[in-house]
Chains A and B, each alone.
Chain A
């Protein structure tokens, strides 16, 4: 009977749970789903320079980083490039059709690019090999394998762990020939300066805020907010693309929860990185 009610009146079904301060999957309003991360060669992409697979409940996102060489742009001769791309293939959910990237994928790609830029997690100067001649381009492909809400949090986390896993080979420019020589045996990891972590909220009925919405909750919500913080408690991004109006105080609650979440995620990342360190 409850399944019939859920299909016919999903919003009323949800409201019954929200009144009791919990959700149909048993979580509290401020509780995240189980987060698991698989990094590097253990179960992720072996052909990429760095990769990570993140599962946030059912939402599964994989990020692969490939490093290639290119000439730096004319106006920033000492900077490399980081190019993120979020793909939402039709296999992750029935709401996405195959074909050119839809609005959600493009908006997510722009969001990831903004997070990388705002948080300054990698200094683009570090990616430069020879001023004006050669620099690294990091192509970060984030592909959603299973869409169950909260794409942005999972993508940012996958990107961060994949970048931590990247090993760049050393490159020397042969002075006689002018060509670059890549030494695949000598690898150095990337210097990640900041660790941004995203926390997403869904707004229900203009008043209630719930953390880590599932796809069903996102459809019923009247708005979404994503806050990205770094380890110093600074805000890298407040992303509220429209939706129900919120007061400054409610935003403050979101930020406080985001800061707590950052600590949880940091602990998890450190544990995972330590576990793959060569013994």
Chain B
């Protein structure tokens, strides 16, 4: 485990702790690659069905970038603790997860970042919405976009929208990733220049 990175976007804050590659139980180990496990703990209450669903999405996103074949029969555990939620929680978790993976020094094929778009009833796209904007929106779309070719790693939608609106949101999200990846670079530079 390394000093866990905590990511705050506005008032939304998520703490990520990464452990691994480490020893695992025989029942969980995979013979050809690392077994990734994600645990998402909400701010209040016990983890429920929503957290399980988010964990599955985060796990499969991380599995797509982590080069697990370099560490077979090991376990990589990612624990995310929600400190405060003021909107765009899933993308905050995605960004925290990626920074955690980077900080732990795990071999990755590319980086990824999470972007949330809210579609208001009149059609305007708001990036990184607050909780209030999310509630008033007609649809909220979250994408995980990779750093190498800006392709979509993960997509979730809430509410309904037309196909054109979804494509527009995707393009806007892809444009925003430059800022986020620059932020990754800056934070890592700061960390390693001490």
Contacts and interface: CB of A to CB of B under 8 A. Distances in A.
A242 interface: yes
A262 to B, nearest CB: 12
A contact face: mostly helix, strand, loop, or mixed: mixed
B contact face: mostly helix, strand, loop, or mixed: helix
A106 interface: yes
A242 B162 contact: no
B57 A241 contact: yes
Contact of A110 (B53, B60, B157): B53
A30 interface: no
A244 to B, nearest CB: 6
Contacts of B155: 225, 238-240, 251
Nearest to B63: A242
Nearest to A242: B60
Contact of A236 (B153, B154, B160, B171): B160
Interface stretch (A55-63, A171-179, A209-217, A227-235): A227-235
A242 B64 contact: yes
B187 to A, nearest CB: 23
A109 B53 CA distance: 9
A235 B56 CA distance: 22
Nearest to A258: B163
Contacts of B59: 242
A248 B160 contact: no
B62 A247 contact: no
A270 interface: no
In this complex, the interface size class of chain A, counting residues with CB under 8 Å from chain B, is 35 or more
A104 B63 CA distance: 16
Nearest to B167: A248
Nearest to A113: B49
Contacts of B174: 248
A104 B163 CA distance: 28
Interface string B154-186: 111111111100110011001000000000000
B58 interface: yes
A114 interface: yes
Nearest to A196: B160
B74 interface: no
Contacts of A117: 158
Contacts of B60: 223, 241-243
B108 to A, nearest CB: 13
Interface of A: 103-104, 106-107, 109-111, 113-114, 117-120, 222-223, 225, 230, 233-248, 251-252, 255
15 contacts: A106-B52, A110-B49, A110-B52, A111-B53, A120-B160, A230-B160, A233-B162, A238-B155, A238-B166, A240-B152, A242-B64, A243-B153, A245-B153, A248-B152, A252-B167
